Amino acid sequence: MEDGVLKEGFLVKRGHIVHNWKVRWFILRQNTLVYYKLEGGRRVTPPKGRILLDGCTITCPCLEYENRPLLIKLKTQTSTEYFLEACSREERDAWAFEITGAIHAGQPGKVQQLHSLRNSFKLPPHISLHRIVDKMHDSNTGIRSSPNMEQGSTYKKTFLGSSLVDWLISNSFTASRLEAVTLASMLMEENFLRPVGVRSMGAIRSGDLAEQFLDDSTALYTFAESYKKKISPKEEISLSTVELSGTVVKQGYLAKQGHKRKNWKVRRFVLRKDPAFLHYYDPSKEENRPVGGFSLRGSLVSALEDNGVPTGVKGNVQGNLFKVITKDDTHYYIQASSKAERAEWIEAIKKLT
């Protein structure tokens, strides 16, 4: 990293005038968050824009876009709003942590609170959020949804924040109320649950990282509609559900050379095992469906030389490149943002070939 850089990497940004979503390379420093356009695997200077962090407020998680649950919202002193999407919950939280630290650099107490939050409860690896939500839906042992009233309004099929905390503890998913609140926040951040009514929505809008989910008998929540949505057979096209059933091992933004036009575009790559597949998604699109992918069984993966443009690579793209050759001899040219990231991806893929 360059001097003074706290964090850098890809994020997907919503446009100001036309609300489309585009991948940009972000660099965080103590008082600014600068973003660049990328062409041919390189950032284009001067920067596309900069966000002044002095007096900025951050909301994370931001639930304003149902199909984009991994958002961070920044609001500047001049009330300009920026929506930034990360590739995973861990990456989003890492960005939120660093940005919040940069905003509150002059407040040691706040920074210390963030450090303690970062080291808080983590979900055991043998328990998945999907399993918890499935159990919550169980007609016999699940969480009971019912009409609840708040400030004169009745909300159907809701449950209390304190009731969910009780349920998580009684079902042995957590050992304490603090852990249950953290787990409930994860469920909300991953778009399985959503807040309903003034009390719970107010906690989200406050942008306070410490209190997103409320262990409170007046805060209402419900299941997010996205959990109930089913994909129609027409939408599945050629994607086998078996391909997408594996456990996610690694995910992140990488640049990829197209097969036909040979142009380079940033994609969100997701590596799965059992079965071993590497899928890639278009981060500018709302739908969470891969635009491509391939089986890793019998594949070969290798780093490409960093001096000059390697054979098979089009355009003046060089540095941090690697190649995956599938069993049917299809060649994929991919670029990471650093040598370390390239090494991590190659190692992860090799384990599954």
Please write the tens of the pLDDT for every residue from 286-320: 777 889 999 999 999 999 987 777 888 887 787 89
pLDDT score at 227: 40
What average pLDDT does this structure show over 266-277? 92
Instruction: Inform me whether the pLDDT recorded for 236 exceeds 50.
Output: no
Question: If you average pLDDT over every residue of the chain, what do you get?
Answer: 83
- Residue written as tokens 């001096």? 307
Q: What global pTM score does this model have?
A: 0.64
Question: Would you say residue 76 lies in a domain?
Answer: yes
Which pLDDT value is given to residue 209? 47
Looking at the fold, whether 218 and 264 belong to one and the same domain comes out as no
Which of 57, 84, 119 corresponds to the end of one domain?
Answer: 119
Residue 248 neighbours by CB under 8 Å, 6+ apart: 270, 271, 272
pLDDT greater at residue 214 or residue 236: 214
What pLDDT sits at residue 206?
63
Q: Which domain holds residue 148?
A: 129-227
191 and 253, same domain (yes or no):
no
CATH code of residue 18: 2.30.29.30
Report if residue 24 sits inside a domain: yes
DSSP for 121-188, written as a single string: ----TT--HHHHHHHHT-TTTSPPPEEEEETTEEEEEEEEHHHHHHHHHHTTS-SSHHHHHHHHHHHH
**Position 241 in a domain:** no
> Looking at the predicted structure, is the pLDDT value of residue 121 above 60?
no
Tell me: do 137 and 211 sit in the same domain: yes
> Total structural domains in the chain?
3
Residue 124 is assigned to a structural domain of this protein: no
Query: Does a structural domain hold residue 296?
Result: yes
Give yes or no: residues 89 and 175 share one domain.
no
CATH number of the domain residue 168 falls in = 1.10.10.10
Amino acid 128: pLDDT = 80
